């Protein structure tokens, strides 16, 4: 299976090529340059593999939640590419991809990915790892104030992502002994979008280009944010 994946919904811009289980990555943390970086990354990966778009089985992209601008970039690029090459697309939750990266790198199986959603809110997810080594949602991704996020029961949970950097003290206070570790610096990667995309394609969860839609969770794009609450 051959899949090209992209992720631009967070501070990192990345593209990954999945070739029958092997993954090749381009990854740069340059938040203001996603739109100029992503297409060259995709082209480099394909050129190095000696492949054209027609040789791919599908595409995958981080559909959000995350930066509104970043999500629009990924959606536009993947839709245009899918239309041009007549390829199916697997939309992947960026919270799921963040959790998958932590499992891939550290082996933790109970994961609470969170992004700072601004306006004193979090994008928050709860994921477990299945027998295939893939994250599965324990509950729906959501956006909420950190004091109102519904937290899971049990212990051994690991918090990852910028939401923990911004609101870690408050979340730690709520979880207390349930929390095993926190990494507020971990960023989403197209590597994990590719892994989840390959699984989604194999499971028949791909959609057409026009159905490859973003996930915003919140439509208050134009609302002016209030002061940030430290915690």
Which tens digit of pLDDT belongs to each residue from 109-164? 999 999 999 999 999 999 999 999 999 999 999 999 999 998 999 999 999 999 99
Q: Which residues pair with 5 in a beta bridge?
A: 16, 60
Question: Using alpha carbons only, what angle is made at residue 111 by residues 216 and 4, rounded to the nearest 5 degrees?
Answer: 55
CATH fourth-level superfamily of 95-183: ATPase, nucleotide binding domain (3.30.420.40)
Domain boundaries, the chain: 2-94+189-211, 95-183
CB 18 within 8 A of CB 2: yes
Query: Under CATH, to which class is 2-94+189-211 assigned?
Result: alpha beta
> Quick one: which of 160, 48, 162, 157 has its CA closest to 98?
160
Domains 2-94+189-211 and 95-183 share a fold: yes
pLDDT beyond 80 at 227:
no
The CA distances from residue 46 to 41, 55, 212, in Å, are: 9, 10, 22
| pLDDT tens digit sequence for 47-62 | 999 999 999 999 999 9
CA 65, 70, 76, 78: dihedral to nearest 10 degrees?
-70
pLDDT average, residue stretch 12-40? 97
The whole-angstrom distance between residue 209's C-alpha and the CA centroid of its chain comes to: 19
Q: Is the peptide bond before 197 cis (omega within 30 degrees of 0)?
A: no
Residue 222's pLDDT band (cuts 50, 70, 90)? very low
Please name which of 53, 42, 39 lies closest in space to residue 17, comparing C-alpha atoms. Answer: 42
CA dist 27 and 5 (Å) reads 12
């Amino acid at each position: 299976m051959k899949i090209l994946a992209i992720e631009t919904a967070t501070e990192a811009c990345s593209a990954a090529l999945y070739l029958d289980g092997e993954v090749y990555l381009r990854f740069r943390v340059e938040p203001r340059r996603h739109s100029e970086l992503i297409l060259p990354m995709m082209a480099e990966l394909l050129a190095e593999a000696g492949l054209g778009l027609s040789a791919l089985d599908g595409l995958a992209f981080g559909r959000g939640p995350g930066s509104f601008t970043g999500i629009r970039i990924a959606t536009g690029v993947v839709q245009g590419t899918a239309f041009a090459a007549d390829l199916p697309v697997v939309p992947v939750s960026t919270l799921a991809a963040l959790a998958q990266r932590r499992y891939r790198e550290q082996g933790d199986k109970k994961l609470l990915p969170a992004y700072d959603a601004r306006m004193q809110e979090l994008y928050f997810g709860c994921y477990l790892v299945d027998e295939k080594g893939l994250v599965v949602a324990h509950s729906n991704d959501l956006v909420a104030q950190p004091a109102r996020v519904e937290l899971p029961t049990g212990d051994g949970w690991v918090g990852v992502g910028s939401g923990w950097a911004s609101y870690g003290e408050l979340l730690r206070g709520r979880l207390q002994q349930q929390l095993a570790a926190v990494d507020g610096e971990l960023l989403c990667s197209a590597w994990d979008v590719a892994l989840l995309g390959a699984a989604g394609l194999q499971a028949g969860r791909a959609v057409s280009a026009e159905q490859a839609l973003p996930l915003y969770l919140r439509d208050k794009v134009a609302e002016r944010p209030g002061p940030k609450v430290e915690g």
